[in-house]
Each structure stands twice: as structure tokens, then as C-alpha cells.
Amino acid sequence: MQTLNTPSRTDQLVAPDKLSGRRVRIVFYVFLCLAASLVPHVLALAQYPALEGDGADVIRAVGGLLALAVLTFPVGVVAVLLWIPLVTSGVAPPFEAVSGLLPLFVFLGYKQWFVWIPKFVLRNSKSAELEKPGSEVS
């Protein structure tokens, strides 16, 4: 009679040291997003001569928006596309629109970098492992 090797519950649990390292990366990522959201305020405090005039607030806010978009690219484009109508319709000023969309940026970036991409990479690595000659399916 043939026996099947089924994974035990202990094989599916994540080791505690890997879990704490993941938490540190997530906290660091959230900290980076918060720091990126402060870019418009730092640019406003710097009072750089090129950032003065009628559209200065929009230019400073775009700086923060770009910093957040880089951290969450490509999924962060969704939040950037939401920022444009908020500002152009006058619903929110540029600074407040960036701050208001910060939770969306953080959520989308978290899902992308810590859920979707690892799941995709693990799935592809498992399928590549199964395709190796001489590997057995368990």
C-alpha cells in the first residue's frame, strides 16, 4: 500500500525569529511612508527659491506624492490617480490631499510588498522546484 507524505501542522507554521524579522520590516516600511509624507512640509520649511510663487504648494505636494509613489510603485499609482481629482476639483488642498491619502498608500504598499509579491514568489519557487528532474511530489 502506498503512503502519501502530507505536511504536518508544524511545517506550515512560521518560525518565531522569521516572524519578528517580518514585523521589523513592516514597521520600517510604515516609518518610511510616514517620512515620505513629510516631504512637502520639509520643502515648505526649506523655502527653496525655485519653489516660490503661485503653484508652490502644488509643487511641494507633488514632491511628497512622488516620494510615496516610489515606495508603493506600481500599486501606488492608484492613490496618485485619486490625488489628482481631489486637488483639481478643490475638495482638498495639495498638502492635505497627500496626508489624507497616506493610509491608502501605506495599505497598498503593505499588500504589494508583504502579501502579494511574497505569495507570487513562493508559488513560482515551489512550481520551479517541482519541475526539477528527479524531484518528487509530496
Residues 55-112: pLDDT tens digits? 778 888 888 888 898 888 899 899 999 999 999 998 998 888 888 999 999 999 999 9
Note the pTM of the prediction, 2 decimals.
0.70
Cβ neighbors of 109 (< 8 A, separation 6 or more) are 29, 33, 71, 72, 75, 76
What was the pLDDT predicted at 38? 87
CA angle 30, 33, 37 (to 5 degrees): 140
Cα 56 to Cα 16, 59, 72, 97, 100: the distances in Å are 48, 5, 25, 15, 19
CA atoms of 71 and 31, how far apart (whole Å)? 11
Percent of the chain with pLDDT over 90: 25
pLDDT exceeds cutoff 60 at 7 = no
CA 84 to chain centroid, in Å, comes to: 20
8-state DSSP, 122: H
